[in-house]
Structure 1
Amino acid sequence: MNLPNNYNYFTRQEWATFHGRNQLNTVTADELAQIAALNDRINLEDVQEIYVPLRHLLHIYLRRYQQLVHDKADFMDNEPHQTPFLIGISGSVAVGKSTTARLLQLLLSRSFTDHKVQLITTDGFLYPNAELKRQGLLKRKGFPESYDMEHLLTFLDQVKSCKPQIHVPRYSHQIYDIIPNGYDVVDQPDILIVEGINVLQLPSNQQLYVSDYFDFSIYVDADPDLIETWYLDRFKVLLDTAFTDPDNYYYQYAIGDRDDALKMADKVWREVNLKNLDEYILPTRNRADLILHKTDRHLIDTVGLRKY
């Protein structure tokens, strides 16, 4: 396990002892089953040992952030107003970012009942497939240049400026494209969780990091060989569920030769997702405030907290 040096690392058992007085009393096993991403796993033990201490840590960061906003307003002799606290969650395709994001949204909503907690993914900022084809980028989907980063940065600036009713394009994994005229609405949240493979990246044609807007960031990590296994296992589940829906992107593979479909998926992993991970995603890991490292069966075995 090759992890960055600028972190304090804790075993699962050590991390679980931090603020152990915070007991899990807001999440049920049924809710976890609904939260877990396709082919991911999570249970109440994971929540108690990993996410309850993380919830408390986020509370510390949130209080500090709110105090800083108030003090800066006082310094400038302005009327204080609350700006949203942004949490970024990054990591490879198929590593379980969505599960972490949805669970944190649930935990924070239950813990801070007077706060509006919203969640978006950066998938909605991918260029539509038609535009990717026009630019010759369809085979580079997921790489930095396949995202409308100017739109994403503008969106984050609008969120921090407390703009109401911001429309975010919606992406569908079923059709493998942006949904025409489909939007999610982000409306002045107190806490916004932004999940995506690119939330810690800096495209070459931009002056700002997306992560400049985040007040806390998390990288979900695992050995690439494990992630490949999870990716292919997820693909098999998608094949098993797509064969009855001709509109599903995976239908064409579900009704064809399964071995050919799996060979295609393995090629996509090696030539697209693994390359993207090695060249663009993994190098951003040391920008995160927290690293959640996973091992077999998506079990988090190590937590890294940034030193500085």
Structure 2
Amino acid sequence: MDQAAPSDPGPPPVVRETLEQLVARAAQLARPGTRRVLGVTGAPGAGKSTLCAALLAALGDHAALVGMDGFHYAGVELQRLGRGHRKGAPDTFDVDGYVALLTRLRTPPRVPVYAPLFDRALEEPVGSAVPVPSATPLVLTEGNYLLMSEHGWSAVRACLDEVWYLDVPPEVRERRLIQRRRSYGHEAQAAEHWVRTVDGRNGCAVEASRSRADLVVHLDVPESPRDGRLG
């Protein structure tokens, strides 16, 4: 008898939810005595960091946040590789190091595991800056490329129990990104150029990975009319 071909799981479900509803979803994963890893992804400017900060604040000691951006190559290495002009692209990260950390976090030892973070003031990664206690039941990790398959990123998906994809209109993301770069001291023209070239190209790559998510989320939170940030 011929073996049936595996069924196509189809596109991920799409929901429109508030922060409170997403906190409730995450709380279901944060069960003491277990360890789950929840990925939050989306194109640049989708609000990943804002959502993760809200989840972390609501869940307290039941969650820890480990960002993908902590695995940026250092600036001096990007210059050596000739990639400094497109920092943030998929091939400007230590993907193997990120996968190794996620693997450790899935089966935590008795001592804390330390993760790096990306310091926006320095524009550099800082190692061993984020402790993840062994008893923490939920690890949040956020970044653009959690669902990509190129440049070694395919190994990340197997490390994550669930992945939520934040879906935000491109014009909203672009406005947020320009305002973010201006807040770092970039001139308006330089900020717009970077967002529409580097961030825009990266965003297209991220959007192509959306179908691999477990959930596509339209976050139902009003934006501030002053700065375009979430809530």
- Report the TM range for the smaller structure's normalisation: 0.7 to 0.9
CA deviations 1:60-119 (Å, max 9, x no partner) are: 4567xx9xxxxxxxxxxxxxxx4411110111222211110011122223xxxxx63111
Question: Could you tell me the percent identity over the aligned residues?
Answer: 23
Q: Is 1:213 matched up with 2:159?
A: yes
1:171-182 matches, within 5 Å, as 171-179=118-126
Query: Is the contact made by 1:200 and 1:209 (CA closer than 8 Å) also made in structure 2?
Result: no
1:147 alignment partner in structure 2: 93
2:146 alignment partner in structure 1: 199
Q: Is 1:158 matched up with 2:126?
A: no
1:75-86 matches, within 5 Å, as 82-86=33-37
Equivalent pairs counted in the alignment come to 213
1:30 alignment partner in structure 2: none
Q: Is 1:263 matched up with 2:189?
A: yes
Query: Is the contact made by 2:19 and 2:219 (CA closer than 8 Å) also made in structure 1?
Result: no
> Per the alignment, in what secondary structure is the counterpart of residue 156 of structure 1?
helix
Q: 1: distance between equivalents of 2:91 and 2:121?
A: 22
1:6 alignment partner in structure 2: 11
Farther off after superposition, 144-153 or 290-299: 290-299
1:32 alignment partner in structure 2: none
Give the AA of the match of 1:198. Answer: Y
> Per the alignment, in what secondary structure is the counterpart of residue 233 of structure 1?
helix
> Per the alignment, in what secondary structure is the counterpart of residue 192 of structure 2?
helix
Q: Which has the larger radius of gyration?
A: 1
CA RMSD across the alignment: 2.6
Q: 1: distance between equivalents of 2:197 and 2:52?
A: 27
Give the AA of the match of 2:47. Answer: G
CA deviations 1:7-58 (Å, max 9, x no partner) are: 4445x5xx5xxxxxxxxxxxxxxxxxxxxxxxxxxxxxxxxxx133333334
Q: 1: distance between equivalents of 2:81 and 2:177?
A: 27
Query: Is the contact made by 2:30 and 2:137 (CA closer than 8 Å) also made in structure 1?
Result: no
Query: Which of residues 14, 30, 51 in structure 1 aligns to 2:19?
Result: 51
Q: Is 1:94 matched up with 2:45?
A: yes
CA deviations 1:155-182 (Å, max 9, x no partner) are: 0111112133322223111121123x66
Change (3 A) 1:158 1:213: same
> What 5-or-longer segments of structure 1 have no aligned partner?
16-49, 67-81, 110-114, 240-252, 254-260, 300-308
Query: Is the contact made by 1:124 and 1:178 (CA closer than 8 Å) also made in structure 2?
Result: yes
Give the AA of the match of 2:50. Answer: T
2:131 alignment partner in structure 1: 185
TM-score scaled to structure 1, two decimals? Answer: 0.62
> What 5-or-longer segments of structure 2 have no aligned partner?
1-9, 225-231
